Amino acid sequence: MELDSTQVWVVIILLGLGSFGLRFVFLGLIGDRPMPPWVLRHLRYTAVAVLPALVAPMVAWPGATDGQLDAPRLAAALVTLGVGYFTKNVLAAIGLGAATLYGLLYLLG
């Protein structure tokens, strides 16, 4: 299916307006009012919830293996999760997870 440039620009503009609208609701309309403590408590966990949601599909259905689960990616995810949980150090978790992934890919490949 081929898209013409008008369709592409309409989609880009609509997505931009939608993104602006979502941000404006929170920052523009209620940005100057104090938020209830329960909202602030939930907002603290937003980044913690988004990162696994972005990474999980790449571990469970990696494009590099045509969607087949493989040991190096699963091991790297588990190492990253374990290091992050026990040390609370994001950089250590990312570094050791990457080292596990590339080390196992090197050893098995």
Domain boundaries in the chain?
A: 1-33, 45-108
- Reply yes or no on whether the pLDDT at 48 is more than 80: no
Phi, psi dihedral angles at 14 (to 5 degrees): -65, -40
The arithmetic mean of pLDDT across residues 16-40, rounded, is 85
Q: In 3-state terms, what secondary structure has residue 35?
A: coil
pLDDT, residue 13, reads 97
pLDDT, residue 6, reads 92
pLDDT, residue 78, reads 93
Q: What is the pLDDT of residues 59-107, one digit of tens each?
A: 888 887 888 888 999 999 999 999 988 998 889 999 999 999 999 999 9
Cα dihedral sign, 49-54-57-62: negative
Structure tokens at 13: 């503009």
CA–CA dist 5, 13 (Å, integer): 12
CA–CA dist 53, 33 (Å, integer): 30
CA–CA dist 89, 28 (Å, integer): 34
Query: Is residue 101 within 8 Å of 83, Cβ to Cβ?
Result: no
- Reply yes or no on whether the pLDDT at 1 is more than 80: no
Name the residue with higher pLDDT: 83 or 43.
Answer: 83
CB atoms closer than 10 angstroms to residue 76: 22
Indicate the pTM of the whole model. Answer: 0.59
pLDDT, residue 86, reads 93
- Reply yes or no on whether the pLDDT at 51 is more than 80: no
Percentage of the chain modeled with pLDDT above 70 = 99
Half-sphere exposure of 23 (CA within 13 A, CB side): 6
